[in-house]
Amino acid sequence: MELREEVHKEMVLLRERTPDIKGSVAATVDGLTIACDHVTDGGEQVAALASALLAMSRRMMILAGRGDLEETLISGTAGHAAFYAAGPTIVLTVLAEPGANLGLLRLEGRKTASMVAAVAQQGRNS
């Protein structure tokens, strides 16, 4: 199965496991969209901004001496956006509803990012 299809499959599973999650976008660290799940408008812009935010967040962790980046979480009046490094080449953005269980969002987001990283690594090794 192609990388895009495998990544999309993991994103669908994430949404199905976690009812507060309404969509996700996977992108390269260069800002190119790999897959979108339930993000109707702006998927390309989300991908571009997510790659920039990932780079900035990684740099902040280095400057602050706080170890490797695990996630960046942004909360707003209409919900949350969480960003995860999925290996060295992919960023996963997860969109959740207001009032979402943030512990579950973090747990499932990290799990999916790990699965996406494994899919990408497997593709590079094939």
For the chain, 126 residues long, give each residue's pLDDT as a single digit of tens.
699 999 999 999 999 999 999 999 999 999 999 999 987 677 889 999 999 999 999 999 999 999 999 899 999 999 999 999 999 999 999 999 999 999 999 999 999 999 999 999 887 776
Contact 80, 102 (CB under 8 A): yes
Which of 42, 98, 45, 39 is closest to 74 using CA atoms?
A: 98
And the tokens for 92? 């996963």
Residue 37 structure tokens: 């799940």
pLDDT of residue 38: 83
For residue 73, the cross-strand partners are 82
| Residue-level pLDDT at 122 | 85
Q: How far apart are CA 126 and CA 91, in angstroms?
A: 21
Helix (H/G/I), strand (E/B), else coil: 48? helix
pLDDT of residue 126: 63
Structure tokens at 22: 């309404």
